[in-house]
Amino acid sequence: MSDFNVVVTLVAAKEHTCCECQGVIAKGTKYDRDSGAQDGQGFSYKTCLPCSEAREWLDKQLRQMNALNDDEGIEFGALHSDLAELASEERFLGVESLRLLLGIAERRNQSVKPQGDGS
């Protein structure tokens, strides 16, 4: 097995898109880059820091619930749906999962460029 995964926090030299919220990682802001190889395929994902924190929190919750094995992790791009799943299991009473979901939704909304109509 040659699977590996390295996470580094970098400062964006140019604009990037977060793999979780699709929000803009502006030039000069910090982001996490996960890169590595899985099943012989190289990968690289960029995640804005708020999403990265949310992923860390969710990862911890799922491990506490034994919903993740040691060799498993949250799939890239699946943070929002995994969070929503947890929130529904908590019957939407878990304040933290709702707060994180809201944050992702807000960053998503901001990333949607307004159409140039009505001006």
- Verify binding: residue 32, Zn ion, rule CB under 5 A: no
45 touches 39 (CB < 8 A):
no
- Verify binding: residue 20, Zn ion, rule CB under 5 A: yes
Q: Which amino acid type is present at position 2?
A: S
Nearest approach, Cβ of residue 106 and Zn ion (Å): 10
- Verify binding: residue 25, Zn ion, rule CB under 5 A: no
How far apart (Å, rounded) are the C-alpha atoms in residues 105 and 103? 5
- Verify binding: residue 51, Zn ion, rule CB under 5 A: yes
- Verify binding: residue 58, Zn ion, rule CB under 5 A: no
Place of tokens 């998503």: 108
| Stretch of 3-11, 34-42, 50-58, 75-83 contacting Zn ion, by CB under 5 A | 50-58
Q: Which of 24, 15, 35, 12 has the alpha carbon at shortest distance from 108?
A: 24
| Stretch of 14-22, 29-37, 64-72, 94-102 contacting Zn ion, by CB under 5 A | 14-22
Q: How many residues of this chain bind Zn ion (CB under 5 A)?
A: 6
Residue 110: other Cβ atoms inside 10 A: 12
66 touches 77 (CB < 8 A):
no
Chain contacts with Zn ion (rule: CB under 5 A): 18, 20-21, 23, 48, 51
